Amino acid sequence: MSEQEYTPKSKVGKWFNDRLPLLTLANHLTDYPTPKNLNYWWTFGGILTFCLITQIVTGLVLAMHYIAHADMAFQSVEHIMRDVNYGWLIRYIHANGASMFFLAVYIHIFRSLFYGSYKSPREVIWIIGIIIYLLMMAAAFLGYVLPWGQMSFWGATVITNLFSAIPLVGEGIVTWLWGGYSVDNPTLTRFFTLHYLIPFLILGLVVLHIWALHVPGNNNPIGIDIKKPSKDTVPFHPYIVIKDGFALLMFMIVFAFFVFYTPNILGHADNYIEANPLVTPAHIVPEWYLLPFYAILRSVPDKLLGVIAMLSAILILAALPWLDTSKIRSAVFRPLYKQFYWILVADVLILGYVGAMPAEGLYLLIARIATAYYFLHFLVVLPVLGFKERTTPVPLSITEPILGGSPNLAAVKKKDSF
């Protein structure tokens, strides 16, 4: 970064900063030159940080009252809901917070897909992001088991059983994961421990994610490299801080609506029935944010191949910077990619929908077509498109006039919203 050497004004500040340059870091963060044309889709990074901190803080309080024991977990959650002061509020924030977290992360990921934020030189930011996303899914799954309701128990049974698909050692691994021969108390206690650990791993990775971001700087809606600092950038504080704050408040209104008025709508009613190993629920469904992957899993007739397909669906994202061969980042200047992007969005929504439906008949057929298309998009469409697509002219900077008679800034601004 091309910022000038920072020296604190006060003597004490200078003394301290020479020993630990925290003030230099703070200065870097406030002055950090940010493209001035970032739209609201870029505010979700800040929103996600808020989500993570909310989950950690509410989770800490819940852990003070929760009892990780198969005989007492369900009852302790009811204790939190009834007798702990504002326990209901803390728990509803935590439970709905998970959904809000995923809502925000999906917007964040699809923003990146649209504007090509994963491309060089931002591959490492992207891959750290994918690891964070994987850990988020693990944390969410583990957390869903803790209330020890019917869906907790059977969800845990179904998901851990996936490991039995591994040849030879599968069964052994499942027994090892369970700590016994079925999902039971040892499973619950270890899931609680891991559920407590993962958020802090995520927090560490978030620091790396932001650090890696601050090396090349933000991508932007027109996806061009910009000089920093320049007329194209604004300092992070106050410009981006206030804008992120505004977007966060809008997000919090939606969040509050769920927490206060429909706190159980995103959960499954069966999870208010205490876990019973002798009664299997009619439909075992994961939380909404895992449904597309659940659909992919079930669309493959073979168990092992299904698990491989599901894992590949996530891991393929890590290879995205190399699968997308186009030199142009932003979909604004890629007319064909833009169409395929929206088809992918529709495809993932369809997968999510059929994931909630029973895997039979027409639903299964749709799930199979959508799964095939998902992989087709990444493995065929993206690599080929980079060579075949005729892109529209890209401006040289955000503020400078554009060469070659391409559309002016006003037109670019209009196109960049999606």
In the range 231-250, which residues lie near another protein by CB under 8 A?
Answer: 234, 238-239, 242-243, 245-246, 249-250
The C-alpha atoms of residue 395 and residue 221 are separated, in whole angstroms, by 12
In the range 213-232, which residues lie near another protein by CB under 8 A?
Answer: none
Amino acid at 207: V
Considering the complex, what minimum distance in angstroms separates the CB of residue 29 from another protein? 18
Convert residues 341-360 into a mask of x (bound to another protein by CB under 8 A) and - (unbound). Answer: -xx--x--xx--x---x---
Closest to 198 in 3D by CA, of 147, 132, 242: 132
Considering the complex, what minimum distance in angstroms separates the CB of residue 78 from another protein? 5
Nearer to another protein, 161 or 391 (CB): 391
Closest to 281 in 3D by CA, of 353, 358, 355: 358
Considering the complex, what minimum distance in angstroms separates the CB of residue 353 from another protein? 5
Considering the complex, what minimum distance in angstroms separates the CB of residue 294 from another protein? 16
**Number of residues near another protein (by CB under 8 A):** 44
Q: Which long-range contacts (CB under 8 A, 24 or more apart) does 338-342 make?
A: 340/377, 340/381, 340/382, 340/385, 341/113, 341/114
Q: What single DSSP character describes residue 162?
A: G
In the range 46-105, which residues lie near another protein by CB under 8 A?
Answer: 75, 78-79, 81-82, 88-89, 92
**Is 31 in contact with 235 (CB distance < 8 Å)?**
yes
Considering the complex, what minimum distance in angstroms separates the CB of residue 157 from another protein? 19
Structure tokens at 413: 């601004």
Nearer to another protein, 206 or 240 (CB): 240
Nearer to another protein, 202 or 259 (CB): 259
Among 28, 190, 413, 415, binds another protein (CB under 8 A): 413
363 binds another protein (CB under 8 A): yes
Convert residues 262-301 into a mask of x (bound to another protein by CB under 8 A) and - (unbound). Answer: -xx----xx-xx--------x-------------------
Which residues make Cβ contacts (< 8 Å) with residue 304, sequence separation at least 6?
165, 166, 167
Question: Using H for helix, E for strand and C for coil, what is the string for 400-417?
Answer: CCCCCCCCCHHHHHHHCC
The 3-state DSSP class for residue 149 equals strand
The C-alpha atoms of residue 244 and residue 159 are separated, in whole angstroms, by 37
Nearer to another protein, 92 or 133 (CB): 92
Considering the complex, what minimum distance in angstroms separates the CB of residue 65 from another protein? 14
The C-alpha atoms of residue 144 and residue 155 are separated, in whole angstroms, by 8
Q: Where are the beta strands (DSSP E) in 134-175?
A: none
**Is 331 in contact with 115 (CB distance < 8 Å)?**
yes
Nearer to another protein, 88 or 196 (CB): 88
Binding residues (CB under 8 A) for another protein: these are 36-37, 75, 78-79, 81-82, 88-89, 92, 234, 238-239, 242-243, 245-246, 249-250, 252-253, 256-257, 259-261, 263-264, 269-270, 272-273, 282, 339, 342-343, 346, 349-350, 353, 357, 362-363, 413
